[in-house]
């Protein structure tokens, strides 16, 4: 929420007005629409790499990122996103068009085809793109928030983890560093029951990831990750405390990964009834039902947001599909600042190994 005062009309829930509530719904719908569109493009053969979805987890990314000071000039809060926080990326200012270009490895994409899925940075929008060993991101965000603190910038960093990341030494070292230095840092563990195929009981002895907080001397809170307002309120409080010099908070968002780790994973290790149970707890369906029941919005208003999200994604996807792949020779560029990696000598116009230096 950039400016709490901008809420129009009465505060309806969680100190939010109608336009805020509609925006929460809109971004969850946009995340789902973008990923749905991506699946179509995968089947059409446009997506070559893995496809990772946040289906059923949209409330975590959207509810938490909504609590941040979101700006597009490099002075706002930051997130370390993951493939399970598509909605947060869009809320921070990343666009479905960028998202499609990146997945399709287009030369127009944020990494010009060097990296996959949501692995891209845009510091102006507060996006810290991940690397695959995700524990690293907690360390890097610890350093970013250290700078916020040491330089007196009133900014907060939020790093998302899955339940698997909490088992890594990297997560521990990053969180401990941030805790010791009392960095303005919010760690959100999306507890979605599986890390690839490994269930939580094989990841930790704890009943709740909040139990880890005591080991770092930080505060913690566990929330229903499929309730966007509960996620929002918990994050808002943690962000306020972080901005106020109160240090690190760990938030466990209890949710569920309704599809496999990626599209190639048929989820055979999961009982069908378990997935069905969580389909009934769908965060978008729940929020929609509540908004109508409480009189916060009309069905028709929400329908319009769904349609707009789908149309936007369809249009952006078609545009991304038309755009070119990067030129092959770009592979040697930008390994170093001001140094070009040598091209394979067998590809020189007149092949000679004499130019084999870096």
Partner 1 sequence: MSFNFSAPATEDTEADSAPVVTIDKPEHVTKTERGEPVTFLEAIAEALFEEMVRDGHVFLLGEDIGVYGGAFKVTKGFIDHFGSERIIDTPISEAGFTGAAAGAAHMGLRPVVEMQFMDFISPAYDVITNYIATSLYRGSGPMPVVIRGPVGGGNRGGPFHSQNVEMAFFHTPGLKIVYPSTPYDAKGLLKAAIRDDDPVIFEEHKGLYRAPQLREVLPTEDYVVPLGKARQVREGSDITLVTYGMMVHRSVEAASTLQGEDGVSVEILDLRTLLPLDDEAIMDSVRRTGRLLVVHEDTRTGGIAGEIAMRVNEQAFEFLDAPILRVAAIDAPVPYAGTLEDYFLPQTHDVVTALRYLARY
Question: Which one of residues 169, 271, 295, 349 is an interface residue with partner 1 (CB under 8 A)?
Answer: 169
Own/partner long-range contacts of 338-345 (Cβ < 8 Å, ≥24 apart) = none
Asked whether 235 and 158 are in contact (CB, 8 A), the reply is yes
Six token digits for residue 307: 């349609």
Closest CA to 220 of 239, 245, 248: 248
Q: How far is the CB of 116 from partner 1 (least distance, A)?
A: 10
Range 108-127, binding partner 1 (CB under 8 A): 110-112, 114-115, 119-121, 123
Does 218 interact with partner 1 (rule: CB under 8 A)?
yes
Question: Which one of residues 28, 223, 239, 320 is an interface residue with partner 1 (CB under 8 A)?
Answer: 223
What is the total count of residues that contact partner 1 (CB under 8 A)? 67
Does 217 interact with partner 1 (rule: CB under 8 A)?
yes
State the Cα–Cα distance between residues 132 and 101, nearest whole angstrom: 19
Q: How far is the CB of 355 from partner 1 (least distance, A)?
A: 8
State the Cα–Cα distance between residues 271 and 250, nearest whole angstrom: 30
Asked whether 337 and 61 are in contact (CB, 8 A), the reply is no
Which residue, 136 or 165, has its beta carbon nearer to partner 1?
136
18-43 and 299-322 are packed helices; what angle lies between their axes, rounded to 10 degrees? 40
**DSSP class per residue in 233-282:** HHHHHHHHHHHTT---EEEEEE----S-SSTT---TTS-HHHHHHHHTT-
Which residue, 194 or 216, has its beta carbon nearer to partner 1?
216
Does 72 interact with partner 1 (rule: CB under 8 A)?
no
Q: Segment near partner 1 (CB under 8 A), from 11-19, 165-173, 186-194, 262-270?
A: 165-173
Q: Which residues are within 8 A (CB) of 295 and not within 5 positions of it... i.e. 6 or more apart?
A: none
Does 181 interact with partner 1 (rule: CB under 8 A)?
yes
Q: How far is the CB of 325 from partner 1 (least distance, A)?
A: 16
Does 220 interact with partner 1 (rule: CB under 8 A)?
yes
Which residue, 143 or 312, has its beta carbon nearer to partner 1?
143
Q: How far is the CB of 115 from partner 1 (least distance, A)?
A: 5
Report strand pairing: 194-195 vs 198-199.
Answer: antiparallel
Asked whether 140 and 177 are in contact (CB, 8 A), the reply is no
Which residue, 180 or 343, has its beta carbon nearer to partner 1?
180
Six token digits for residue 192: 């979605």
At 303 the three-state DSSP class reads helix
Binding mask 335-354 for partner 1 (x = CB under 8 A): xxxxx-x---x-------xx
Which residue, 221 or 310, has its beta carbon nearer to partner 1?
221
Q: Which residues would be at the binding site for partner 1 (CB under 8 A)? A: 110-112, 114-115, 119-121, 123, 128-129, 131-133, 136, 138-148, 150-151, 169-170, 172-174, 176-177, 180-182, 210, 213-214, 217-223, 230, 233-234, 245-247, 334-339, 341, 345, 353-354, 356-358
């Amino acid at each position: 929420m950039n400016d709490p005062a901008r809420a129009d009309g009465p505060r309806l829930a969680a100190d939010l007005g109608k336009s805020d509530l509609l925006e929460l719904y809109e971004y969850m719908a946009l995340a789902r629409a973008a990923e749905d569109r991506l699946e179509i493009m995968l089947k059409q053969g446009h997506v070559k790499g893995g496809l990772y979805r946040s289906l059923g987890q949209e409330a975590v990314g959207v509810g938490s990122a909504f609590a941040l000071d979101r700006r597009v000039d490099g002075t706002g809060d930051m997130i370390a996103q993951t493939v399970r926080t598509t909605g947060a990326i869009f809320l921070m200012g990343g666009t479905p068009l960028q998202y499609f270009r990146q997945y399709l490895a287009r030369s127009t994409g944020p990494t010009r085809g060097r990296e996959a899925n949501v692995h891209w940075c845009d510091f102006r929008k507060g996006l810290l793109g991940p690397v695959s060993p995700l524990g690293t991101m907690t360390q890097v965000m610890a350093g970013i928030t250290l700078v916020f603190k040491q330089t007196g910038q009133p900014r907060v960093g939020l790093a998302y983890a899955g339940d698997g990341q909490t088992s890594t030494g990297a997560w521990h070292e990053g969180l401990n560093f941030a805790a010791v230095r009392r960095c303005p840092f919010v760690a959100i563990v999306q507890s979605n029951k599986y890390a690839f195929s490994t269930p939580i009981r094989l990841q930790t002895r704890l009943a709740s990831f909040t139990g880890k907080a005591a080991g770092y001397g930080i505060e913690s809170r566990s929330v229903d990750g499929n309730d966007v307002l509960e996620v929002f309120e918990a994050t808002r409080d943690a962000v306020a405390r972080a901005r106020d010099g109160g240090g690190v908070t760990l938030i466990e968002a209890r949710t569920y990964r309704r599809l496999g780790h990626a599209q190639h994973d048929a989820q055979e290790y999961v009982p069908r009834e378990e997935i069905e149970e969580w389909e009934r707890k769908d965060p978008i369906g729940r929020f929609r039902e509540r908004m109508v029941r409480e009189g916060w919005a009309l069905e028709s208003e929400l329908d319009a947001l769904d349609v707009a999200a789908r149309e936007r994604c369809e249009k952006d996807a078609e545009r991304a599909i038309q755009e070119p792949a990067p030129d092959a020779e770009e592979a040697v560029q930008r390994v170093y600042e001001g140094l070009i990696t040598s091209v394979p000598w067998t590809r020189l116009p007149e092949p000679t190994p004499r130019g084999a230096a870096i």
